[in-house]
Structure 1
Amino acid sequence: MSSPDTQPPSLYAAREPIFPRRVKGAFRNLKWWIMAVTLGIYYITPWLRWDRGPSLPDQAVLVDIAHRRFFFFMIEIWPQEFYFVAGLLIMAGLGLFLFTSALGRVWCGYACPQTVWTDLFILVERWVEGDRNARIRLHRKEWDLEKARKRAVKWTLWLLIAAATGGAWIFYFTDAPQLLHDLLHLQAHPVAWITLFVLTATTFIFGGFAREQICIYACPWPRIQAAMMDEDTLTIGYRDWRGEPRGKQKTEGTGDCIDCMACVNVCPMGIDIRDGQQLACITCGLCIDACNDMMDKIDRPRGLIGYLALTDETAERAGKKPISVWKHVLRPRTLLYTALWATVGVGLVVALFLRSEIDFNVTPIRNPTFVTLSDGAIRNSYDLRLRNKHGEAHWFEISASSDAGPFKMALEGEPGLRLKVPANETKAVRLYITAPAGSSAATTPRIPLRIWVEDLGDQPGSEVTAPQPARERVAQDTIFNGRGH
């Protein structure tokens, strides 16, 4: 037994900094292109303009929380149309399942924001401090003027990138030029400053210092992706039947692997792919580029490390040819994901083109359900909420239809049955429908009633002289309550 003064061993392992070496190759070039495209889209999109008329914002992509709307070029999404956003999220999830089922953690390795910004931060670090060996020496070196200068330059550039990242994000939620003006003149709303500070700090810490720890410990996807993969999923693997036993190039009886550690030195996660598939591997392909470069130098065939599936491993160990890439990708599981993804996408497009520019609802007044007038007529009241989704003010006409008529109708506060609704606003009005005494509607407890709204355009119908295109007309069913017997 240990004495009471003996401290138990610590189970905490300090982080070992990772200094990836620069590498050239097809996968590295692909990552550069994806990083340039994704960052370009992210930073430029808030500054794109789109003319929607004088009463609407001209920012092409805008999440207008104040007015509860989302603008995406010619598309405008209202709060009650949140199913479009839900559909896009479902498509994103199915797309993630599809790519993971076919190519493993390809999202993590190429397009995940954590990966993209970490790549950018490492690029800056390499530019300021040098490649792998120089950065290791600087890390181990005692603090002096040179180390302080390089760290200050690196951290300053990181901070500028992080601030641009947080700034670009908040530009999506308000007019970008105006917000930039307010920020530069210290007139921005406190919410903007708080959001900018939080996003700048998280980007600076996650991309500069946490890096692989976010992928390993904070992100849930490495644990979920195991359920998305099977024996036909293409992922990065080491062909140990060809590379082992390791040894020097000209040593008899050794495999193709010369244990140069190139695949380890370029890995941004700091793992050795030769130890097998691991949770930390993001399948970025940099180890493939490094190994292929080394195979070229020692005049050995490429592919010691590459994308392969478990079924390929079994076949290649037996000396057979690997299965075609397309057979791995086009299989029942991935085709099912593709079909589901396409179905949701087509459904959203159809719903987008079929949606009405008029949105209204009818709420019958329940207390009382009807009123008996002095002449014996029965009157029902309804609250109408009419939303004009056009970019300019429109006139709308209210009417009703039923098998049991006739009815008299009136809008509270309006001279007739026509009302004007401002652009992109909702107007509430009370509608009175009266059935004459002794009519079928007045003497029947409940009859179906359909209330119609017709779009008259930007002028009331009586003032229109030129031929008009077909007007939109929508209806909602409700009930008319009569006295009965």
Structure 2
Amino acid sequence: MTLHPNDFLKSEAVAATGPAVARRRKMRPAAQTGEPVVPQSVRGRFRRLKWAMVALCLGVYYVVPFLRWSRGAGQPDQAILFDLAGLRFYIFGLEFQPQELYYLTALMIAATIALVLTNTLSGRIWCGYFCPQTVWSDLFQLVELRLEGDRNERMRQLHMPMTLARRARKLLKHVIWLAIAFGTGGAFVLYFADAPTLLGDVFTGQASVAAYGAILTLTTTTWLLAGFAREKMCTYMCPWPRLQGAVWDPEALVVTYRDYRGEERMSAKKAAAARAAGRPAGDCVDCMACVHVCPMGIDIRNGPSIACINCGLCVDACDTTMGKLGRQRGLIDYESWTNIERGRAGQSRKPVRLLRPKVVALSVALLAIVAGVALSVSARGTLHLGVSHDRNPIAVMLSDGSVRNAYEVRVETLAGVGGDLTLEVAGNAPLHVAVIGGETSDSGRVPISLGSGLSRQFRVTVAGETALEGDLVFTLIQTASGESVSVTNFFKLP
């Protein structure tokens, strides 16, 4: 049977061919019975890789707010800082302002393309190793394993009366979960203020209401999602599984069961007897190890499933069983669906092509967006100027017969840029410029004092004869470097 990509949109796992797979089984995975998913711990290369990714992701998340980056006197020295109060966003040597959010849009598009690219290469590999839901769920499950025992012990206690010792262990588990969740929320707010200062304020009760509110919200959501909604979040709440039909690739390396090798399922003793009698027997001994270790509670032997996060733990479990039986490993493995169908047809396996047209196209698109953002950031200036004309009134006739227009001018500089600036206004005729509360000039040039890395909004009036009607060019000049930026507005008559 050929698998169609749209089959991934089904709520049930896609069934593989063969009467042994299609028959109703006595032992079904938790995802089909409604029982709680209690995964068995497992050892193996993919489990070690997952722990390494957990350590890496958590290390980056908790350490980055404390990295320092020198930006000069009077500037924040936190390497990554999203200063909402000052409307500045610092990422190491780069500084962004709210009007530059188009960079964020470009990066979100790039991230989407990167996600589709990884899916084209190896399915939901992001979900299995890097997704925050997976990382924190693994951490919570580790606490559960250490306090309440492995799967067999917890399953045995499910329907037993609650004892004082079990209550104490469960209470301790939730205390540790809440501590981890609090650390998660606490680390998140450190990205929005100076980390060491805010950390001290949080524990001394001097932090803002907004900070405590954000910490409480993230603590609660982390505790609920990683502690109680693990596989439900990945299967039902996350939109990514529902998009598998659109981006599914038959040559992607995904966790797959080689049913042409595993069926018919039977015990090792029965398989030996069947082979001795010349009857077919598969390598799968139906030990259910692959099902018991699955954090999603599915049976990968039933075929591809939208719930599978491609974590590879069932590969470790099956390889362990095959090793104990002296059989070839890889009954469950990262394999392309193309090779699964070739195996069913008795054909040899083909090496998976990494450089496929779809992969090349996505890679080129991703590189183009990243390169475009990098070039745009490197070429942008350090000055920003915004000018808006007053609308009410749009113009005023003065007693000497001249006309005056008023403007709101916003000046911004990047961090470390000197604050001695000059505002120059040029039009079709001589004019008089006045900064309300500041300098005036009949030459069209007025000095502006601006602190380094600050922004200022002020009111400017321009007066002149009626011949001044038309375009006005406002130019902001950095005194030290000579860098300038210009904005065109208009001069109107009453």
TM-score range, shorter chain: 0.7 to 0.9
Distance 1:260 1:382 in 2: 78
Distance 1:383 1:188 in 2: 35
Aligned to 2:91: 72
CA-based RMSD of the aligned residues comes to 2.5
Compared with structure 1, are the counterparts of its residues 320 and 14 closer, same or farther at alpha carbon in structure 2 (3 Å cutoff)?
closer
Offset of residue 156 of structure 1: 2.1
Distance 1:410 1:183 in 2: 46
AA matched with 2:486:
A
AA matched with 1:33:
A
AA matched with 1:358:
L
User: Which region of structure 1 is more displaced relative to structure 2, 30-39 or 44-53?
Assistant: 44-53
Aligned to 2:453: 424
Offset of residue 151 of structure 1: 1.8
Please, which runs of 5 or more residues in structure 2 have no aligned partner?
Answer: 1-31
- Residue correspondence of structure 1 range 85-96 to structure 2 within 5 A: 85-96=104-115
Aligned to 1:215: 234
Checking the alignment, whether the CA contact within 8 Å between 1:395 and 1:418 is kept in structure 2 is: yes
Distance 1:383 1:209 in 2: 53
Aligned to 1:27: 46
Give the number of the structure with larger relative contact order, counting CA–CA contacts within 8 Å between residues 6 or more apart.
Answer: 2
Aligned to 1:452: 475
- Residue correspondence of structure 1 range 383-394 to structure 2 within 5 A: 383-391=408-416, 394=419
Pick aligned residue for 1:235 from 239, 244, 254: 254
Aligned to 1:478: 489
Show CA shifts across 1:417-442 (max 9, x none): 11111233332344444556xxxxx5
Offset of residue 114 of structure 1: 0.9
Compared with structure 1, are the counterparts of its residues 197 and 411 closer, same or farther at alpha carbon in structure 2 (3 Å cutoff)?
closer
Offset of residue 113 of structure 1: 0.9
Matched, 1:48 2:67: yes
User: Which region of structure 1 is more displaced relative to structure 2, 23-32 or 390-399?
Assistant: 390-399
Aligned to 1:313: 340
Aligned to 2:281: 254
AA matched with 2:90:
F
Residue identity over aligned pairs, in percent, reads 41
Checking the alignment, whether the CA contact within 8 Å between 1:248 and 1:254 is kept in structure 2 is: no
Show CA shifts across 1:307-337 (max 9, x none): 2222212222233333323x1x322222222
Checking the alignment, whether the CA contact within 8 Å between 1:393 and 1:420 is kept in structure 2 is: no
Distance 1:168 1:137 in 2: 37
Distance 1:52 1:475 in 2: 26
User: Which region of structure 1 is more displaced relative to structure 2, 268-277 or 21-30?
Assistant: 21-30
Compared with structure 1, are the counterparts of its residues 90 and 317 closer, same or farther at alpha carbon in structure 2 (3 Å cutoff)?
same
Distance 2:347 2:103 in 1: 48
Offset of residue 306 of structure 1: 1.2
Matched, 1:97 2:110: no
Offset of residue 278 of structure 1: 1.4
Matched, 1:354 2:354: no
Compared with structure 1, are the counterparts of its residues 189 and 399 closer, same or farther at alpha carbon in structure 2 (3 Å cutoff)?
closer
- TM-score of the two chains, using structure 2 as the length reference: 0.84
Aligned to 2:220: 201
Compared with structure 1, are the counterparts of its residues 372 and 164 closer, same or farther at alpha carbon in structure 2 (3 Å cutoff)?
closer
Secondary structure in 1 aligned to 2:81? Answer: strand
- TM-score of the two chains, using structure 1 as the length reference: 0.85
Aligned to 2:304: 277
Aligned to 2:15: none
Compared with structure 1, are the counterparts of its residues 443 and 117 closer, same or farther at alpha carbon in structure 2 (3 Å cutoff)?
closer
- Residue correspondence of structure 1 range 331-342 to structure 2 within 5 A: 331-342=356-367
Offset of residue 367 of structure 1: 5.3
Checking the alignment, whether the CA contact within 8 Å between 2:433 and 2:440 is kept in structure 1 is: no
Compared with structure 1, are the counterparts of its residues 312 and 135 closer, same or farther at alpha carbon in structure 2 (3 Å cutoff)?
same
Offset of residue 173 of structure 1: 2.0
Checking the alignment, whether the CA contact within 8 Å between 1:291 and 1:304 is kept in structure 2 is: yes
Distance 2:204 2:399 in 1: 67
Compared with structure 1, are the counterparts of its residues 480 and 242 closer, same or farther at alpha carbon in structure 2 (3 Å cutoff)?
same
Matched, 1:179 2:198: yes
AA matched with 1:130:
G
Distance 2:153 2:81 in 1: 44
Aligned to 1:289: 316
User: Which region of structure 1 is more displaced relative to structure 2, 83-92 or 416-425?
Assistant: 416-425
Show CA shifts across 1:237-274 (max 9, x none): 11111111011222323111111211112111111111
User: Which region of structure 1 is more displaced relative to structure 2, 175-184 or 262-271?
Assistant: 175-184
Secondary structure in 2 aligned to 1:277? Answer: coil
- Residue correspondence of structure 1 range 29-178 to structure 2 within 5 A: 29-178=48-197
Secondary structure in 2 aligned to 1:247? Answer: coil
Checking the alignment, whether the CA contact within 8 Å between 2:244 and 2:306 is kept in structure 1 is: no
Distance 2:434 2:199 in 1: 50
AA matched with 1:472:
E
Aligned to 1:303: 330
Checking the alignment, whether the CA contact within 8 Å between 1:55 and 1:392 is kept in structure 2 is: no
Aligned to 1:191: 210
AA matched with 1:455:
Q
Distance 1:85 1:376 in 2: 50
Distance 1:392 1:358 in 2: 9
Distance 1:90 1:241 in 2: 40
Secondary structure in 1 aligned to 2:342? Answer: helix
Checking the alignment, whether the CA contact within 8 Å between 2:397 and 2:403 is kept in structure 1 is: yes
AA matched with 1:471:
G
Compared with structure 1, are the counterparts of its residues 367 and 157 closer, same or farther at alpha carbon in structure 2 (3 Å cutoff)?
closer
Secondary structure in 2 aligned to 1:140? Answer: coil
